[in-house]
Amino acid sequence: MMDQNISRQLLTFLDASPSCYHAAANAAAELLAAGYTRLYEGEPWHLAEGGRYFTLRGDSSLIAFRIPCRDFRGFMIAAGHSDSPTFKVRETAEVSSAGNCLRLSVEPYGGMVMRSWLDRPLSVAGRVMVREKGKVVSRLVNVDRDLLVIPGMAIHMDREVNKGTALKANVDLLPLFACGKEPGAFRRLIVEEAGVEEADLLTTDLFLYPRTRGTLTGVHEEFVASARLDDLQCVFGCLRGFLAAEDSSSVPVLAVFNNEEVGSGTRQGADSTFLTDVLRRVNGAMGRGEEDWMIAVANSFLVSADNAHAVHPAHPEYADPSEAPVLNGGIVLKYNASQRYTTDALSAAVFSQICHETGVPVQRYSNRADLPGGSTLGNISTAHLSIPSVDIGLPQLAMHSAYEVAGTKDTEYLVRAMTTYFGRSFRVGPEGIQI
Residue 316 one-letter amino acid? P
Q: What does the pLDDT look like over 334-359, one tens digit per residue?
A: 998 888 899 999 999 999 999 999 99
Q: What does the pLDDT look like over 72-128, one tens digit per residue?
A: 999 999 999 999 999 999 999 999 999 999 999 999 999 999 999 999 999 999 999
* 255 and 342 housed in the same domain: yes
Q: Which of 345, 343, 317, 318 is nearest to 332 (CA)?
A: 343
What was the pLDDT predicted at 340?
Answer: 87
- Is residue 429 assigned to a domain? yes
DSSP lists the bridge partners of residue 56 as 62
Count CB atoms within 10 A of the CB of residue 139.
16
* Total tally of structural domains belonging to the chain: 2
End-of-domain residue from the set 182, 210, 238 = 210
Q: Which of 253, 251, 248, 252 is nearest to 286 (CA)?
A: 251
Q: DSSP class of residue 319?
A: B
Q: What does the pLDDT look like over 21-55, one tens digit per residue?
A: 999 999 999 999 999 999 999 999 999 999 999 99
pLDDT band at 160 (very low <50, low <70, confident <90, very high): confident
* 240 and 365 housed in the same domain: yes
Query: Residue 253: what are its φ and ψ, rounded to 5°?
Result: -135, 125
pLDDT band at 382 (very low <50, low <70, confident <90, very high): confident
Count CB atoms within 10 A of the CB of residue 410.
32
Answer yes or no: is pLDDT of 3 > 70. Answer: no
Say whether 238 sits in a helix, a strand or coil.
Answer: helix
Average pLDDT, the chain: 95
* 77 and 93 housed in the same domain: no
- Is residue 410 assigned to a domain? yes
* 243 and 191 housed in the same domain: no
Say whether 272 sits in a helix, a strand or coil.
Answer: coil
* Higher-pLDDT residue of 373, 53: 53
Query: Residue 282: what are its φ and ψ, rounded to 5°?
Result: -60, -45
For residues 120-138, give the mean pLDDT.
97
Sheet of 135-142, strand order = 135-142, 122-132, 201-210, 86-97, 101-109, 176-179
* 293 and 423 housed in the same domain: yes
Answer yes or no: is pLDDT of 1 > 60. Answer: no
* 77 and 168 housed in the same domain: no
For residues 322-341, give the mean pLDDT.
93
| CATH number (domain holding residue 422) | 3.40.630.10
pLDDT band at 432 (very low <50, low <70, confident <90, very high): confident
What was the pLDDT predicted at 339?
Answer: 85
Say whether 408 sits in a helix, a strand or coil.
Answer: helix
- Is residue 151 assigned to a domain? yes
Beta carbons within 8 Å of 80's beta carbon, 6+ residues apart:
231, 232, 234, 235, 238, 255, 256, 257, 305, 306, 377
| CATH number (domain holding residue 159) | 2.30.250.10
Answer yes or no: is pLDDT of 307 > 60. Answer: yes
What was the pLDDT predicted at 302?
Answer: 97
What was the pLDDT predicted at 2?
Answer: 53
For residues 259-283, give the mean pLDDT.
96
- Is residue 220 assigned to a domain? no
Question: How, if at all, do strands 432-434 and 395-397 pair?
Answer: unpaired
* 54 and 158 housed in the same domain: no
- Is residue 291 assigned to a domain? yes
* 98 and 18 housed in the same domain: no
- Is residue 375 assigned to a domain? yes
Range of the domain at 16: 4-84+227-434
What was the pLDDT predicted at 26?
Answer: 98
pTM of the model: 0.96
